[in-house]
Amino acid sequence: MVNRFVTAALLTVIACSTFTAANAENAYSRPVGTDHQSVYWTLFANADFPQVQIAEVPLIKKAKVASIDSTPQNNLIETSGVAFDNAGRFWILSYGEVNGVPTSALVFDPPITRSSTPAITLVLNGTVDADGLAFDPSGNLWVSSPGNESVVEYTGPFTESGEPTPATVLTAGINNPFAVAVDKKGNVYISNNASTGTNSIAVEKPPYTGQPYFLNGLTGPGGLIFDSDGNLYASSSGTPPAVVRYNRNHLKNGDLPSIVDSAGLRPTSYEAAFAFTATGDLYAANCGNENTAGIQVWPLSTERFGKRLKPSVRYTNKKILQQGCAWGIAIQ
């Protein structure tokens, strides 16, 4: 599955959608209009490649892209998960000078440009090769750390640079965690990339006692994201690869995906992370290999998610294909 998997451990990002479903079991709505948005993604690459690329939403096949390279000032290198917090700040996980042991979270005030430097730098003690991040309803940060088989919580608010002490470290039932997502109740969902069909997504409920239950049905799961109605989207890199949805009433111990959509996905596709636009379109960062890597769009603002829905847009460029990976993705 991708050259990135050979060099180090890997992940997603959680982002919020703002659309209203016409059907809770098959979430879908018409566009309601949106302010200008941009999509941001990382390549999980060394300094020979861009660390962040940015394009306008809606993404088109021949989009114009701005690239942010690694500099001594921004300390971006081997960038993985990305997210926007509730204050609109842009968070990027970066392996930096210590090669991810621990990983840093670099926080930028948008818009991020080639000359931007982090407003805050957090050295995430307790992480090794961190891949994805998410925020819970209280503004606390959760980070997946496959290098030491854990998911780590840090308590917000985050107002200055430093080395925060982990508030919670989850290890029970976690097996190569790539993505992390948090629902409106503070339940933490973790994709176990080592899964071959069972214990695919570990679920920890507050107060996080280290006794997870599991959603099943995925092989090598990657990205995770909730829509505004509480349905969980995930990816499976089995044969064939798929984007799946667990409906909000199918998130109990042992549940399987409610919908499995393999339509239009090439055999080596790996959806590492997801993001929603304001109108409800689903974007995914594909880190399959040099033949499949790029950004894919499922037009959920105008079509229902289902097992035969193909991506309406596939975007890639020379740098993404050379690296064989688009990894983290966020939209604002």
114 falls in which pLDDT band (50, 70, 90)? very high
123-155 pLDDT, tens digit per residue, is 999 999 999 999 999 999 999 999 999 999 999
Q: What are phi and psi of 39, to 5 degrees?
A: -110, 135
Q: Which residue has the higher pLDDT, 82 or 35?
A: 82
Number of structural domains the chain divides into? 1
Largest CA distance in the chain: 49
Position 291 scores a pLDDT of 93
35 falls in which pLDDT band (50, 70, 90)? low
Domain interval for residue 286:
4-331
Q: 């689903």: which residue's tokens?
A: 282
Q: Which residue has the higher pLDDT, 92 or 17?
A: 92
Q: Taken in order 207, 130, 192, 310, is the CA torsion positive or negative?
A: positive
Question: Rounded distance, CA 194 to CA 186, Å?
Answer: 24
Q: Work out the angle at residue 266's Cα, subtended by the Cα atoms of residues 261 and 267, and round it to the nearest 5 degrees.
A: 95
- How far from the centroid of its chain's Cα atoms is residue 153's Cα? 16
Position 133 scores a pLDDT of 98
Position 239 scores a pLDDT of 94
198-238 pLDDT, tens digit per residue, is 999 999 999 999 999 999 999 999 999 999 999 999 999 99
Position 147 scores a pLDDT of 97
What is the strand order of the sheet 120-123 is part of?
82-84, 90-94, 104-108, 120-123
Question: Rounded distance, CA 11 to CA 36, Å?
Answer: 27
3-state secondary structure 69-129: CCCCCCCCCCCCCEEECCCCCEEEEECHHHCCCCCEEEEECCCCCCCCCCCEEEECCCCCC
CATH of the domain at 317: 2.120.10.30
Position 97 scores a pLDDT of 84
